[in-house]
Structures are given as structure tokens and as C-alpha cells.
Structure 1
Amino acid sequence: EEDDGYFLAVVQLPPASSLERTQAVGKQINKILDSYPEIKDYIGISGFSVMGGGEQSNAATYFIVLKNWNERKGKEHTAEAVVQRFNMEVYGIQEAEIFAMVPPAIPGLGATGGLQLQLEDRHNLGATEMQRAVETLMEHYRNYPALASVSSQYQANVPQYFLNIDRDKVQLMGIPLNSEFTALGYYMGEAYVNDYVQFGHIYQVKLGAGDRAQRVIDDVLKLSVPNASGEMVPFSSFTRVEEQLGMDQINRYNMYSTAAVTCNVAPGSSSGEGIRQMESLIKEHLGDEFGYEWTSVAYQETQAGTTTTVVFVMALLVAFLVLAAQYESWTSPVAAVMGLPVALLGAMLGCYVMGTPVSIYTQIGIILLVALSAKNGILIVEFARDFRAQGNSIRDAAFQAGHIRLRPILMTSLAFVFGVMPLLFATGAGAGSRIALGAAVVFGMALNTLLATVYIPNFYELMQKLQEKFSKKQ
């Protein structure tokens, strides 16, 4: 995840909590945010859930803007570090479930960061079973080290009022059925009437009853609708108010009823590890009762999961074929590219030392190492072939090539390593991607220079002996 200079916080109170309770929790959050020196400004919106994408009296969303990167240097002041401290501190607020998260790595792919999936009720088990499944995931995720948190805004036990309209009475009273629904829409909501122009601006006219008509549920029974004779008939004569539990929002994804679930990856773990462990969590604890589909950035990553391997193999194949065409040999290129395993080991070591997961930027660095490591091998193999053509023995040719090219290889490789080393100490916007790329390239190229330069002549000797032995048999 990148430090984009801001993060989000989501607040969720128990079902049907009033807006006043939500605002009271917001005051506690405000005190915590005011104590953070890294925070420049913030805004809290009570009654709105960025996760659910709608209005909820028991939810709130905070947008927290951090100070400039120059004013908060050091890993302990990054957005991710601030989010971790904030989550630990708000854990003590018992009135609500509060968690913060960084924005998505790619703007536009999801409302928040983390791994997002849709848990699908493919067998039509109902909202109660869906709620149980979500709670099961939130209860057992701690057994999976790559998952820092699993959260969901899904609620199937929200207290609600159900207006039970007796349609038989409505027909006996001569009241058109759509009249009740129209009256409910006007009084409990609003309806668009028309537009008018005044002072050079266009204004909309909307019809609604206002807040006074929506204070208590009994106000609904006081509404009246005209019958066929023009007489006003109160709702109480054909409507009953019943209490029930249900969902506050009904969401569908690919035609299935779904619950949106967000997973945050633990520090030091890659998103790929988080995806695999989340899939294992669903399979072990939910089985085949529910399906799931990844969305947002996680969907793009799962779709491109095998692409990285294909790209790496193609890069290695192209390098090998180009060298085979240049040397007119199938064995010499093998010796030239044998420095790559050491470079890969160095890249993994760099990720471990710098504490960065194997991200897409690390993979880009590995692709670069294919060419950079082959460069050193080419310099040695090229001279070894020339010495062999002059009549030297295979061992002498390999030794002389390694001896002559050692200094130029060290000079060029170390110059490159020191040139890209500032990537390891990057700060500010985009620092995460630069550190990940630098860790792979710097450590991979440094280890390749120190070790591969020594054993590539040995590989040339081995491959050249095999080639000449095979040629004699032919």
C-alpha cells in the first residue's frame, strides 16, 4: 500500500442506533485524532457509510488528511503506521466498531484499500445465514497470519417496521392501491414536481412532508387517502404496524445476494498471501454453502496471477534465444544466464532486509535482473570464446576471461548499484513502490556481482566441455 497522504476511518454502531449516539462516538474519535501530530485536517460524516455506499444512522465515515511527507519523515509517521496506531487506540471505544484503512493503491478501483470480496448466497439460504457466515469469518481470521483484519458492514438483524396493508379492506373501501404507496412516498420521502427559472438559475420543485411528519411511527397511521367517493380514509383503518428484523441494505452482485467483506493484509505479508489465506478461511469454515468473488484491486490481481510467471519466462526465453543467435551455440548462453539464480536470491534477501512484500514492483525489478545479470555473464563468455578460438584450453580460456573482465564488471556493476541505491531510502509520495523496486534491483545486482562473477567461468568450462564432447560424438 502506498502513502497517499490520507486515510479513511469507518464507524459502525449496533443496528438501529440513533444519529445522536453516532455523533457522540464521533466526539471521542475527534479527541483521538486531535492528538496525532501527523494529521493536518479531517472531516467526519455521521450517518454515511463509505463501505455500504448509503445513509445509515448507525454509521459514520472519516476522511483524514495527513501533513506533507516532508513533515513526517520516518517509518513511524507513514500513513500505514498512523492507521495501525489509530486502530489500536480506538479499539478501546466499546460503543462502536471502528477501523481505519488506507485508500486503494489504484484510484477508482474500490472505495477503500485492502482486499475486497463479495460473499454470495448462491443457495438462497437467507439473510440470517449470511450474517452467521460473515461473523464466522470475522471470528476465525486471526488464525491466519497474513490477515490483519476482516470486516464487513453487513447487518441482517436491524430492527424495522413493516406496514401490513390489508388489500381486501382497501378494495372494499374503494381505494386505489397505488394511492397508499404514493401518499407514503410523498410524506415519508419526496417527489419531483418540475423545474422553474428565476434570476438566471434553474430550480427544482420537490414535494415532501418534512421532518415533523416523520418523528414517530404512529404518524404514518394518521395519513389519509381518498376513496372512490372522495372521502378521506385514514391509514389506521386498513394498515397495521409490525416490528421485525431485517437488512438495512440489500446488495446484489452478479444476481446473487451478497455481503461485502474487506480484508487487510498484515505488515510484511504480500497481497497474494492474503488472497490465498482468505480463500482458505472461506473454504475451511464455510465450505460450499457460500460462494465468493474478488472485486476491485484484488480482482485485477487474481486475473493477472499467472501473467507474471509468463512474463518472467518470456523474458528469460528471449534473452536465451538472442544469445544463442549471437553465439551460434545452445550451450554458451546457458553459462551467460547462470548468474540469474543468484540475482533472484539477492532480490528475495533485499525484500527480507527492507521488510517489503513481493509486490508488482518487486516483480518488475526481477525482470530487470534478467538483463542486468546476463550482462555480466556475456562479458565473461564473450572473452572466453575468443581465447578458446585462439587455441587456449577450456580452463585457461575461462580463467583468463574471468581475470580480465573482473575489474570492468566490478566497476560497471557497483556504479549501477550505488546509482540506484537512493531508491532504498525513498520518502514521500510513491516511496513504497520505489523501495520495493530498489530492494530487488540493488540487492540482486550486488549479490550477482559478488558471487556470479566468480562461478560463471566455471559454468562456461562445464558447458564448453559438454558441447565439444557432444560435437566429437556427432
Structure 2
Amino acid sequence: MFKVNVNAAKAEAMGVALSDINQTISTAFGSSYVNDFLNQGRVKKVYVQAGTPFRMLPDNINQWYVRNASGTMAPLSAYSSTEWTYGSPRLERYNGIPSMEILGEAAAGKSTGDAMKFMADLVAKLPAGVGYSWTGLSYQEALSSNQAPALYAISLVVVFLALAALYESWSIPFSVMLVVPLGVVGALLATDLRGLSNDVYFQVGLLTTIGFPPKTPS
């Protein structure tokens, strides 16, 4: 089989995304669907593919260019090489990179965050050049966990400003919000004692806990 080796470090340095490289090679060799158009009352499909003279020989790949982040065209030959080799007829790829999908769930008593950290630690012990990428719910959880500290900080600021408007004072809200750590500690202890995980529901509950303790009766 004909193998294209892409140097991810060089491509990133030139501002070219791996997904764009994969899309370019896929379109040039196999075509890509664009849209539809009407011709004499019939709907016709539009496909884009490299011209025949530019996709017949292995060396044709050196004539292709990929648009980088700045909008300029970067030659594919600058960060890739080709070779003929043998391999499995079944290939799994993610963003054009050979990959293997791993599906699973956290063990009893462990959170999904612990499971994701364990997987990341395992990948870190593998040889250089092996990486990982989250997809699906794991990707969403990784994204939300990075935003959690900012959300907690914003919630504290919003509660403080609401109390400042209620009491028309900047000093009283400080004393009122001293009860917030007590509510947060209570929520953490209750979660730990019941063996619950640090998931998105826990984070929403913790945000609610921050807002409830300073609440005063109307």
C-alpha cells in the first residue's frame, strides 16, 4: 500500500491542521460531496476531486497544497513523505492519524475524572509519538473540567454583586459570604460519604450550593 507520513510537528509549525491535511488527501484521491444544483428540473450532486493528471502517480502528491491558519497555501511535500509498505487491510484513523478506539467506564467507587487521568498517565508512559484525544462524552467532560474554576469564580462574583445591590453596601456582603465555605465543605463531605463521583451533576450542584447559603429571606 502507498503510505503518506505526515510530520505533525512541522505541519503545526506551518499552521496547517491535521484535519485539513486529511481532508485534502481524501478529496484529491476519493472526491468530496459539496452541494446540489438544479439542471433541467433535476437535482444533481456536486463532487470535488483532483484532476486525473494530478492523482494518477505517487509523485503527484508533491504538487498538492493545503491552506494554513494564515490563509496561505503550504506545500504538502514540506511536512510529509511517502513510501510503499505492507499493512493491515483494516485501518482505523482519527484526523488522518492511525489510531485505536478505546471504550470503557469507570470502576465502582471511581469517578470518570479518575478514569480519564489514569488513561492519560498510561499514555504518558508509552514511547514518543503516541498520543491520545478524547471524543464524545469524555471530550465534553474534559472541556467542562477546564472551565470549572472559572465558573466557580464567576458564581462567587455574581453572588457578591447581588448581595451588594441588596444591602447597598460593599462590606456587608463579605460577612454574609463567609457561610459559603461551610456550604461547600458540607457538599464535598456528603458527596464523599455517599461515594458519588465528581461529574457534571456534582459541579452544577456545587454552583447551586454557592448561591444558596448567602440567600436571605425576603
Output the TM-score relative to the length of structure 1.
Answer: 0.27
Among candidates 149, 156, 172, match of residue 332 of structure 1: 172
Secondary structure at the counterpart of residue 338 of structure 1: helix
What is the letter of the counterpart of residue 187 of structure 2?
A
Deviation (angstroms), 1:281? 1.4
Secondary structure at the counterpart of residue 91 of structure 2: coil
Deviation (angstroms), 1:341? 0.8
Secondary structure at the counterpart of residue 98 of structure 2: strand
Among candidates 262, 277, 298, match of residue 103 of structure 2: 262
Matches within 5 A, 1:237-248: 247=88
- Output the CA distance in 1 between the equivalents of 2:192 and 2:144: 24
CA RMSD of aligned residues (A): 2.5
- Output the CA distance in 1 between the equivalents of 2:6 and 2:195: 40
Secondary structure at the counterpart of residue 286 of structure 1: coil
Among candidates 292, 302, 319, match of residue 159 of structure 2: 319
Among candidates 271, 291, 309, match of residue 131 of structure 2: 291
2:208 matched to 1:368?
yes
- Output the CA distance in 1 between the equivalents of 2:126 and 2:146: 27
Structure 2 regions of 5+ residues with no counterpart?
9-85
| Count of residue correspondences | 137
What is the letter of the counterpart of residue 273 of structure 1?
D
Secondary structure at the counterpart of residue 355 of structure 1: coil
What is the letter of the counterpart of residue 305 of structure 1?
S
- Output the CA distance in 1 between the equivalents of 2:206 and 2:100: 38
What is the letter of the counterpart of residue 112 of structure 2?
S
What is the letter of the counterpart of residue 255 of structure 1?
G
Deviation (angstroms), 1:123? 6.7
What is the letter of the counterpart of residue 102 of structure 2?
V
Which residue does the alignment assign to 1:357?
A: 197
Deviation (angstroms), 1:371? 2.1
Deviation (angstroms), 1:326? 2.3
Distance 1:309 1:122, change over 3 A: farther
Deviation (angstroms), 1:246? 5.2
Distance 1:248 1:260, change over 3 A: farther
CA deviation vs aligned residue, 1:167-224 (integer Å, no higher than 9, x gap):
xxxxxxxxxxxxxxxxxxxxxxxxxxxxxxxxxxxxxxxxxxxxxxxxxxxxxxxxxx
Secondary structure at the counterpart of residue 266 of structure 1: coil
- Output the CA distance in 1 between the equivalents of 2:127 and 2:169: 54
What is the letter of the counterpart of residue 316 of structure 1?
L
2:99 matched to 1:277?
no
Matches within 5 A, 1:150-229: none
CA deviation vs aligned residue, 1:426-473 (integer Å, no higher than 9, x gap):
xxxxxxxxxxxxxxxxxxxxxxxxxxxxxxxxxxxxxxxxxxxxxxxx
Deviation (angstroms), 1:310? 2.1
User: Is the CA contact 1:122–1:291 (under 8 Å) kept in the aligned structure 2?
Assistant: no
Secondary structure at the counterpart of residue 108 of structure 2: coil
- Output the CA distance in 2 between the equivalents of 1:287 and 1:309: 33
CA deviation vs aligned residue, 1:378-436 (integer Å, no higher than 9, x gap):
46xx9xxxxxxxxxxxxxxxxxxxxxxxxxxxxxxxxxxxxxxxxxxxxxxxxxxxxxx
Structure 1 regions of 5+ residues with no counterpart?
1-120, 125-244, 383-474
Secondary structure at the counterpart of residue 133 of structure 2: strand
Output the TM-score relative to the length of structure 2.
Answer: 0.56
Higher Cα radius of gyration: 1
- Output the CA distance in 1 between the equivalents of 2:113 and 2:145: 9
Higher strand content, 1 or 2: 1
Secondary structure at the counterpart of residue 265 of structure 1: coil
2:91 matched to 1:250?
yes
